[in-house]
Chains A and B, each alone.
Chain A
Amino acid sequence: DTGVSQDPRHKITKRGQNVTFRCDPISEHNRLYWYRQTLGQGPEFLTYFQNEAQLEKSRLLSDRFSAERPKGSFSTLEIQRTEQGDSAMYLCASRPQGVVEAFFGQGTRLTVV
Protein backbone atom coordinates (compact mmCIF):
# COMPACT_ATOMS: atom_id res chain seq x y z
CA ASP A 1 0.00 0.00 0.00
CA THR A 2 1.51 3.33 -1.04
CA GLY A 3 -0.90 5.69 0.70
CA VAL A 4 -0.52 7.66 3.93
CA SER A 5 -0.72 5.34 6.92
CA GLN A 6 -1.76 6.34 10.44
CA ASP A 7 -1.57 4.32 13.61
CA PRO A 8 -3.58 3.66 15.71
CA ARG A 9 -6.94 4.16 14.01
CA HIS A 10 -8.70 4.57 17.34
CA LYS A 11 -7.48 5.51 20.80
CA ILE A 12 -9.44 5.83 24.02
CA THR A 13 -7.55 7.34 26.92
CA LYS A 14 -8.26 8.71 30.36
CA ARG A 15 -7.96 12.41 31.01
CA GLY A 16 -4.45 13.32 32.07
CA GLN A 17 -2.72 10.50 30.20
CA ASN A 18 -0.22 11.02 27.38
CA VAL A 19 -0.86 9.67 23.88
CA THR A 20 1.29 9.37 20.78
CA PHE A 21 0.18 8.91 17.19
CA ARG A 22 2.25 7.88 14.22
CA CYS A 23 2.05 8.85 10.57
CA ASP A 24 3.90 7.23 7.67
CA PRO A 25 3.67 9.48 4.59
CA ILE A 26 3.96 8.54 0.94
CA SER A 27 7.65 7.81 0.57
CA GLU A 28 8.67 10.46 -1.96
CA HIS A 29 6.69 13.27 -0.29
CA ASN A 30 8.89 15.73 1.57
CA ARG A 31 6.07 17.70 3.24
CA LEU A 32 3.98 16.26 6.05
CA TYR A 33 1.01 17.88 7.77
CA TRP A 34 -1.03 17.30 10.91
CA TYR A 35 -4.66 18.43 11.09
CA ARG A 36 -7.36 18.07 13.74
CA GLN A 37 -11.03 17.63 12.86
CA THR A 38 -14.00 17.74 15.18
CA LEU A 39 -17.53 16.65 14.32
CA GLY A 40 -19.18 18.87 11.73
CA GLN A 41 -16.04 20.93 11.14
CA GLY A 42 -13.39 20.99 8.46
CA PRO A 43 -9.82 19.93 9.21
CA GLU A 44 -7.87 22.55 11.20
CA PHE A 45 -4.17 22.96 10.51
CA LEU A 46 -1.88 22.09 13.42
CA THR A 47 1.66 21.90 12.06
CA TYR A 48 3.78 20.87 9.10
CA PHE A 49 7.24 19.61 8.24
CA GLN A 50 9.42 19.91 5.21
CA ASN A 51 11.73 16.94 5.48
CA GLU A 52 12.76 16.93 9.16
CA ALA A 53 12.24 20.66 9.74
CA GLN A 54 9.06 21.80 11.46
CA LEU A 55 8.25 24.96 9.50
CA GLU A 56 5.00 26.18 11.00
CA LYS A 57 2.85 25.59 14.06
CA SER A 58 -0.70 26.84 14.50
CA ARG A 59 -1.57 28.88 17.55
CA LEU A 60 -4.10 26.09 18.17
CA LEU A 61 -1.15 23.88 19.08
CA SER A 62 -0.78 24.33 22.82
CA ASP A 63 2.46 23.44 24.58
CA ARG A 64 0.91 20.07 25.50
CA PHE A 65 1.24 19.10 21.84
CA SER A 66 4.54 18.20 20.23
CA ALA A 67 5.33 16.78 16.82
CA GLU A 68 8.50 15.31 15.41
CA ARG A 69 9.78 13.99 12.12
CA PRO A 70 13.27 12.88 13.10
CA LYS A 71 14.59 11.50 9.84
CA GLY A 72 12.28 13.22 7.42
CA SER A 73 10.22 10.08 7.00
CA PHE A 74 7.53 9.11 9.56
CA SER A 75 6.18 11.61 12.07
CA THR A 76 4.77 11.39 15.58
CA LEU A 77 2.29 13.66 17.32
CA GLU A 78 2.26 13.52 21.11
CA ILE A 79 -0.37 15.01 23.38
CA GLN A 80 0.57 15.30 27.04
CA ARG A 81 -1.92 15.49 29.91
CA THR A 82 -4.90 14.93 27.62
CA GLU A 83 -8.10 16.87 28.19
CA GLN A 84 -11.65 16.08 27.05
CA GLY A 85 -11.40 18.92 24.54
CA ASP A 86 -8.64 17.01 22.77
CA SER A 87 -11.18 14.43 21.58
CA ALA A 88 -11.13 14.65 17.79
CA MET A 89 -9.94 12.99 14.61
CA TYR A 90 -6.24 13.63 14.01
CA LEU A 91 -5.39 13.58 10.33
CA CYS A 92 -2.01 13.33 8.68
CA ALA A 93 -1.35 14.35 5.09
CA SER A 94 1.67 14.41 2.81
CA ARG A 95 2.49 16.11 -0.45
CA PRO A 96 5.53 16.64 -2.66
CA GLN A 97 7.00 20.07 -3.38
CA GLY A 98 4.76 22.51 -5.24
CA VAL A 99 1.15 23.60 -5.21
CA VAL A 100 -0.27 20.14 -5.55
CA GLU A 101 -2.80 18.03 -3.76
CA ALA A 102 -2.15 16.66 -0.31
CA PHE A 103 -2.99 13.01 0.34
CA PHE A 104 -4.60 12.19 3.65
CA GLY A 105 -4.45 9.14 5.85
CA GLN A 106 -7.53 7.59 7.43
CA GLY A 107 -6.96 9.45 10.67
CA THR A 108 -6.67 8.55 14.34
CA ARG A 109 -9.87 8.96 16.32
CA LEU A 110 -9.01 10.06 19.88
CA THR A 111 -11.56 9.84 22.68
CA VAL A 112 -10.61 11.26 26.07
CA VAL A 113 -12.83 10.00 28.90
Chain B
Amino acid sequence: EDQVTQSPEALRLQEGESSSLNCSYTVSGLRGLFWYRQDPGKGPEFLFTLYSAGEEKEKERLKATLTKKESFLHITAPKPEDSATYLCAGDNTDKLIFGTGTRLQVFP
Protein backbone atom coordinates (compact mmCIF):
# COMPACT_ATOMS: atom_id res chain seq x y z
CA GLU B 1 0.00 0.00 0.00
CA ASP B 2 1.26 3.46 -0.86
CA GLN B 3 2.41 5.30 2.23
CA VAL B 4 4.16 8.50 3.28
CA THR B 5 5.71 8.71 6.75
CA GLN B 6 7.05 11.86 8.34
CA SER B 7 9.34 12.30 11.32
CA PRO B 8 9.59 13.68 13.87
CA GLU B 9 5.92 14.32 14.70
CA ALA B 10 6.89 17.50 16.52
CA LEU B 11 10.06 19.58 16.67
CA ARG B 12 10.93 22.47 18.96
CA LEU B 13 13.83 24.67 17.93
CA GLN B 14 15.47 27.76 19.28
CA GLU B 15 15.60 30.62 16.82
CA GLY B 16 18.69 30.12 14.66
CA GLU B 17 18.99 26.40 15.43
CA SER B 18 19.08 24.56 12.08
CA SER B 19 17.48 21.13 11.64
CA SER B 20 15.94 18.71 9.14
CA LEU B 21 12.52 17.13 8.71
CA ASN B 22 12.24 13.67 7.17
CA CYS B 23 9.71 12.23 4.74
CA SER B 24 9.95 8.53 3.84
CA TYR B 25 7.78 7.22 1.05
CA THR B 26 6.75 3.91 -0.38
CA VAL B 27 4.70 5.14 -3.31
CA SER B 28 4.76 2.95 -6.39
CA GLY B 29 5.47 4.87 -9.57
CA LEU B 30 6.15 8.12 -7.73
CA ARG B 31 5.90 10.99 -10.19
CA GLY B 32 6.53 13.86 -7.81
CA LEU B 33 7.17 14.64 -4.14
CA PHE B 34 5.55 17.78 -2.74
CA TRP B 35 6.17 19.84 0.38
CA TYR B 36 3.49 22.06 1.89
CA ARG B 37 3.30 24.37 4.88
CA GLN B 38 0.07 24.52 6.92
CA ASP B 39 -0.79 27.13 9.52
CA PRO B 40 -3.48 26.34 12.13
CA GLY B 41 -7.01 26.50 10.73
CA LYS B 42 -5.83 27.10 7.17
CA GLY B 43 -5.33 25.07 4.02
CA PRO B 44 -1.89 23.78 2.99
CA GLU B 45 0.36 26.25 1.17
CA PHE B 46 2.62 24.90 -1.57
CA LEU B 47 6.39 25.06 -1.04
CA PHE B 48 8.28 22.69 -3.39
CA THR B 49 7.95 19.94 -5.97
CA LEU B 50 10.77 17.42 -6.48
CA TYR B 51 10.70 15.03 -9.42
CA SER B 52 13.85 12.90 -9.35
CA ALA B 53 16.48 11.62 -6.92
CA GLY B 54 19.27 14.11 -6.40
CA GLU B 55 17.09 17.11 -7.05
CA GLU B 56 17.26 20.06 -4.63
CA LYS B 57 15.15 23.21 -4.34
CA GLU B 58 15.55 26.24 -2.09
CA LYS B 59 13.34 29.02 -0.87
CA GLU B 60 14.57 31.49 1.74
CA ARG B 61 15.58 29.40 4.81
CA LEU B 62 14.17 26.15 3.39
CA LYS B 63 15.85 23.57 1.20
CA ALA B 64 14.20 20.35 0.02
CA THR B 65 16.13 17.32 -1.23
CA LEU B 66 15.05 13.97 -2.66
CA THR B 67 16.56 10.48 -2.68
CA LYS B 68 15.01 7.27 -4.00
CA LYS B 69 13.36 6.57 -0.64
CA GLU B 70 13.28 9.83 1.30
CA SER B 71 12.96 13.55 1.13
CA PHE B 72 14.37 16.03 3.59
CA LEU B 73 13.32 19.57 4.37
CA HIS B 74 16.28 21.45 5.80
CA ILE B 75 15.58 24.60 7.78
CA THR B 76 18.56 26.91 8.20
CA ALA B 77 18.57 29.48 11.00
CA PRO B 78 14.80 29.30 11.54
CA LYS B 79 12.74 32.22 12.79
CA PRO B 80 9.54 32.15 14.89
CA GLU B 81 7.50 32.85 11.75
CA ASP B 82 8.62 29.47 10.38
CA SER B 83 6.46 27.80 13.04
CA ALA B 84 3.86 25.67 11.25
CA THR B 85 3.07 22.09 10.29
CA TYR B 86 5.08 20.87 7.31
CA LEU B 87 3.43 18.23 5.15
CA CYS B 88 4.94 16.09 2.43
CA ALA B 89 2.94 14.25 -0.21
CA GLY B 90 3.66 11.77 -3.00
CA ASP B 91 1.90 11.75 -6.36
CA ASN B 92 1.51 8.49 -8.23
CA THR B 93 -1.88 8.22 -9.90
CA ASP B 94 -2.95 11.82 -10.17
CA LYS B 95 -3.66 12.29 -6.48
CA LEU B 96 -1.50 13.39 -3.56
CA ILE B 97 -0.91 10.97 -0.67
CA PHE B 98 0.01 12.95 2.45
CA GLY B 99 2.02 12.13 5.52
CA THR B 100 0.81 13.17 8.96
CA GLY B 101 3.13 16.18 9.07
CA THR B 102 5.80 17.58 11.36
CA ARG B 103 4.66 20.29 13.74
CA LEU B 104 7.51 22.80 14.03
CA GLN B 105 7.74 25.37 16.80
CA VAL B 106 10.54 27.95 16.75
CA PHE B 107 11.11 29.91 19.95
CA PRO B 108 12.84 33.30 20.12
Contact = CB atoms under 8 A, between A and B. Distances in A.
B64 interface: no
Interface residues of B, number: 26
A50 B94 CA distance: 10
Nearest to B88: A42
Given A43-B87, A56-B95, A99-B31, A107 B100 contact: no
Contacts of B93: 56
A21 interface: no
Contact of B100 (A33, A35, A42): A42
Given A43-B44, A104-B45, A99 B98 contact: no
Given A33-B95, A56-B95, A99-B91, A105 B101 contact: no
Interface of A: 4, 31, 33, 35, 40-45, 48, 50, 55-56, 91, 93, 99-107, 109
Interface of B: 4, 6, 31-32, 34, 36, 41-46, 49, 51, 87, 89, 91, 93-101
